[in-house]
Structure formats: C-alpha cells, structure tokens
Amino acid sequence: MSLGDEHQPEGQQSPELGEHSGDETVAAVQDGTVINASGYKDQLRRQYGLLGLAGIALTVDNAWIALGSSISVSIANGGPPGLIFGLIVAVFFYSFIGLGLAEFSSSVPTAGGVYHWATIASGPKWGRVVGFFTGWINFYGWMFDLAALLQITANVSVNLYVVYHQSTYVYAAWHVYVAYLLITWLCLTIVVFVNRAIPHTQTLGMLFVLLGGVISIIIVAAMPKQHASNHFVWGSFKENNITGWQDGVAFLLGVLNGCFTLGTIDAITHMAEELPHPKKDLPKAIGLQIGLGFLYAFVFAIAISYAITDLSVLTTGLNTYPLASIYSQATANGDGSQNLGAQFGLLFIIWCSSLLCCIGTMVTNSRIYWALARDNAVPFSGLFSSVSERLSCPVPATLFVAVVATGLGAIPIGSSTAFLDLTGSFIILTTISYAIPFMGNVLTGRRHFPKGPFHLGRWGTLVNLTAVVLVTFFDILFCFPFALPTTTEAMNYNSVITVGVVVLTAAWWLIHARKNYPGPKVMTMYILDGQLVQEPLAAGGLNAEKKKKDEKF
C-alpha cells in the first residue's frame, strides 16, 4: 500500500447513493438529483463505450501519422537513428505519465481532468489556486496541439494538390492557411451539428489508424527499388546531426518528435462524463493508446527510414511536409519517374486520419474549456458553460475553441519555425499540467484520492516523482534553440510562450478569479482524505465536514 492508503477505503461512496450504489457514473445523490464525479448533474449523453473511447484515444493520438508528419522536428537531430531511438525514450517518459493519469482517472473521472485532479491533490489550502493555473495551462497546451494538427492536415491537403501539379505549383504560406481555415470550420460544423455521430467517426478514425497504418507500412517497405543501408538507419547519427549541438544534446532535443507522437495522453480523460464505465474504461484506453501508438509509430519509423534515398531533400527549409518527399522517394519507379497514384493514395490515408484526429481533438478542447467555464474560471462563464441538450454539445465553448485555433493558424505565415513552436508548446504546457497534480499528490501523502479499480499502491509515489523529474528535465531541454548558431527567425520561442501563458493566467487570477472563482465542486467532494463528503453540493459542505471531524477529537 502506498503512503496514505489507510485514508483511501476502496469503494468509498456517499451513504445517499442507495439504488445507484456501484454505478461508476454516480458520485452522490443530492435531494434526489444524481451527481457525477465533477459535482454536477450529467449534461452530456454517455454515448461512448470502450470501443468508441479506444477510437478517440487512437484517433486523437494518431501516433504513426504524428511521427511522420512532425519528422521535421527531429530529422536534423541525427537522421533516422535520432528518430527511432528518440521515440523509444519518449515512450519510456510517457509511460510514467500514463500510469499516473490512469490512476487519477480511475479514482475521479471528470471532464476537467488534470484541472480537477490538481485541485484535489493540492489539498484545501492550495487546491483552488493550483487547480486554476493547471486548468488554464492544460487548455493552452491543447490549443497549441489542435493548431499543430490542423496545420498538418492543411499541409497534406496542399500536397495532395501538388502531386498532380508538380511542374506548375508555386508554394505560398497562405495556401496552407486557407486550407487550415476550411478544415477548422469543417471540424467545428461536425462537432456541433453531428455530435451524436462522433463515436462512429472516431471508430472510423481508429480503422484508418490501424488498417491505414498497416497498408502504408507495407507499401513503403515493399515498393522502394533501392533501400537505405542498415548503417544509415541505425548508425548514422553523427553524420546526420546538423543542428550544431553536441550529439547528446541534439539527440535529447530530437525526443520532441517522439513526445509529439505520444503526447495526447490525457485527451480521453476529458470525455469521462460521456462514458458509462469511466473508472474501468479510461485506464484501459490510456494503456491501449500508449501500447498500440508506440508499436505502430516504431514500425512506421523503421519503414520510412529504409525508404529514404536522399536525406538532404527533407532538411531543406523549403520542404513544409517532409513525409510527402519520403513517399515520393519510396514509390518512385525503376526509371526514376514518379508513381503519382501511390503517392496520392498514401497521402490520402494521412489526410483522412488527420481530419478525424482534428475532430476528436476539437471535442477534447471544447470539453476542457467547458469544464473551466462551468466552475466560473473563464470570462463570460455563464455563456461558455451552457450546453445544447438537443445537440448534446457545449456549443459556445466549441465555437470559442475554433476562433482561437483560427488565430493560431496564422502564425506559420510569418515564421519558418512556427510548427516547431506549436509542437513544443503543446508538449511543455501539457506535461507541466500533468506534473502539478503528480507533485501535489506526493506532497500531500497521496491521501486525497479514493481508490479506483486501477491503483498504483505502494509504487504510486515513485511513479509520480519519476514523472515529475522527467517532465522538468525535458521541458527545460525543449526550450533550447533548435540549432546553433541561432537567428531571430529560427529562434525557439517555447520559453516565451510558456511564460506568457503563466502571466496571462496570473493576470486573470488577479482580475477575476481571486475573489470570484470558488473552485470546482470536487473540492467539497474528495478533498477530505479521499472520502466523499455527505453534502457535496452544500455551500458549507467542506467546512461542515471539517467541523464534524474536529468535534471527534
């Protein structure tokens, strides 16, 4: 048993549950109203079974596609060896994060995710402010991820056109942005008006990820008339490190590609209030996402590495989507001519998977912002916390996400390293939002969470601390310049973005939240040594419960 387990009676429930005892979706019953783990009555339809949840997990993760589409992040950091071994380091890193998040989601499954868990873990004194900052940092991180994924899909859209117009097409950044806008608002339309069909779209996305991955790997492995040497794939790190950094530093900086491949690990936790069995299904889906995501990405990385015949084409600053060049090299005919049909088919698989990924990611982002609004943590909370019961969708929150994404998409028009900044900021901000509840959980003796079906026991403290150390180490590295010597145009702005996010959040805390933000309702439900209080919605629930405990002594 882990430190503080004596405070965590398994299956602890409110004595008012009655006929709802054993129902994972019910945390308490207040005046006849069924309350979920967030402290609210359900407003969204619980329409996702384990298959639908796994579909979202694998589609939003989109691992092998994310690896290939963000190869520009690491290809200069040692070529194929940096790509492959960097992915292995990333899965080691994210496995500790996944274990910690799986334990939290099995204990307190809420749409707020790390926002609520940081509140609970930090205890009654610090929970309100720590949870507030964690929620906003997590939301900003996911917005950068959505922007990066939309950028990938837009780039693929342009490259689909280029396949049959190579001799006449002249690239312009605004072409990608126009595609970006069309895709953003298409995703918004689907998420808002076809919400009930989203479980099916994500199941379709899972098929594209799994079957499309197998098809792509087979084609890329079998079609090349000439394969790269074993040395090039496994041992050419030194000659392909063109960053200006020493080999060790260059390798660690390239791990960012692997992190982006696996970094959507908390996406499905924000769907907790749309699942009939969240405590059991969320840990399973997180494990499935990491395991299958790594397997597909690892095999795909090897396949495309052996298909590369000219690495220099991939590292030029003019190449906005290097994977298209790899496909061109892999499918070329024996006489050197292009196999346009094969190129288009491979890119079309990427496009379909990426579009469905963007839909799932927009759903995740809207649920994060909606959860914050529901607790009065955002401007105009009354508006953004509203839900259309007819559409089963938080429409204003979803629209806000699309508007912010529209603005972020304009950044790459004026910056050659904008995609690197988007991916880096996503990883840094989201991992910070994971590390905060992990550290809070350790510092408070892991006593504020009730046991769920998945529990780390005595290993919990070690897992949480290891995750915090790795997050700190890699987040500092990912703020280093991408290459040396650096220039203003090619500078890494991740540190500036991170500080900016914290400053904006602090400003909103001082302007509004310090006096008007009561904290999420989970504060009055779980913060007493991992036990559900008897009056989760009473205004004085927490204080009344403390008084009862004090009177015993």
Question: What pLDDT, in 10s, does the model give residues 33-73?
Answer: 556 666 667 666 777 778 888 888 888 888 999 999 888 88
Among 152, 155, 162, 158, CA closest to 338: 162
pLDDT tens profile 129-154: 999 999 999 999 999 999 999 999 99
As a whole number of angstroms, the distance between CA 80 and CA 85 comes to 8
pLDDT tens profile 66-107: 999 888 888 899 999 999 999 999 999 999 999 999 999 998
pLDDT at residue 2 greater than cutoff 80: no
pLDDT tens profile 485-500: 987 777 889 999 999 9
Instruction: Give the 3-state DSSP-derived string for 158-182, with helices as H, strands as E and coil as C.
Output: HHHHHHCCCCCCCCCHHHHHHHHHH
Q: What pLDDT score was predicted for residue 6?
A: 36
Domain-wise residue ranges, the chain: 5-551
As a whole number of angstroms, the distance between CA 279 and CA 284 comes to 9
Average pLDDT of the segment spanning 311-326: 79
Q: pLDDT grade, residue 17 (50/70/90)?
A: very low
pLDDT at residue 452 greater than cutoff 80: yes
Q: Concatenate the DSSP letters of all residues of 467-507 into one string.
A: HHHHHHHHHHHTTS-SSSS--STT---HHHHHHHHHHHHHH
Average pLDDT of the segment spanning 176-204: 91
* In 22-92, beta strands by DSSP E: 28-30, 33-35
Q: What pLDDT score was predicted for residue 72?
A: 82
As a whole number of angstroms, the distance between CA 327 and CA 304 comes to 8
Q: What pLDDT score was predicted for residue 5?
A: 40
As a whole number of angstroms, the distance between CA 511 and CA 298 comes to 47
| Residues 215 and 349 sit within 8 Å (Cβ to Cβ) | yes
Q: What is the CATH superfamily name and number for domain 5-551?
A: Amino acid/polyamine transporter I (1.20.1740.10)
Question: Amino acid letter at 270?
Answer: H
pLDDT at residue 14 greater than cutoff 50: no
520 vs 1, which has greater pLDDT? 520
At 449 the three-state DSSP class reads coil
- Chain center to CA of 523: 25
Tokens at 120, concatenated = 């609970």
Which of 5-9, 242-246, 385-389, 495-499 is least confident? 5-9
Phi, psi of 75 (to 5 degrees): -65, -30
Place of tokens 């619980």: 46
pLDDT at residue 552 greater than cutoff 70: no
| Residues 110 and 116 sit within 8 Å (Cβ to Cβ) | yes
550 vs 434, which has greater pLDDT? 434
pLDDT at residue 546 greater than cutoff 60: no
Which residues, in sequence order, are bridge partners of residue 77? 241
Answer left, alpha or beta for residue 45, where phi above 0 means left and psi between -120 and 50 means alpha. beta
pLDDT tens profile 106-120: 988 888 889 999 999
pTM assigned to the model = 0.88
Q: pLDDT grade, residue 476 (50/70/90)?
A: very high
Q: How far is CA 324 from CA 47, 256, 305, 349, in A?
A: 37, 21, 13, 12
52 vs 232, which has greater pLDDT? 232
What is the Cα gyration radius of the chain?
A: 24
Q: How far is CA 345 from CA 160, 168, 342, in A?
A: 9, 21, 5
108-112, 297-301, 441-445: which is most confident? 297-301
How much of the chain exceeds pLDDT 90, in percent?
A: 60
288 vs 525, which has greater pLDDT? 288
Q: What pLDDT score was predicted for residue 1?
A: 32
Q: What pLDDT score was predicted for residue 383?
A: 96
Average pLDDT of the segment spanning 234-250: 95
Q: pLDDT grade, residue 313 (50/70/90)?
A: confident
Q: What pLDDT score was predicted for residue 27?
A: 53
As a whole number of angstroms, the distance between CA 65 and CA 172 comes to 24
pLDDT tens profile 375-416: 999 999 999 999 998 888 999 999 999 999 999 999 888 776
Q: What pLDDT score was predicted for residue 474?
A: 98
How much of the chain exceeds pLDDT 70, in percent?
A: 86
Average pLDDT of the segment spanning 287-292: 94
Average pLDDT of the segment spanning 320-330: 90
Which of 165-174, 194-203, 207-216, 458-467 is least confident? 194-203
Q: What pLDDT score was predicted for residue 35?
A: 60
Place of tokens 């009065």: 376
As a whole number of angstroms, the distance between CA 205 and CA 354 comes to 9
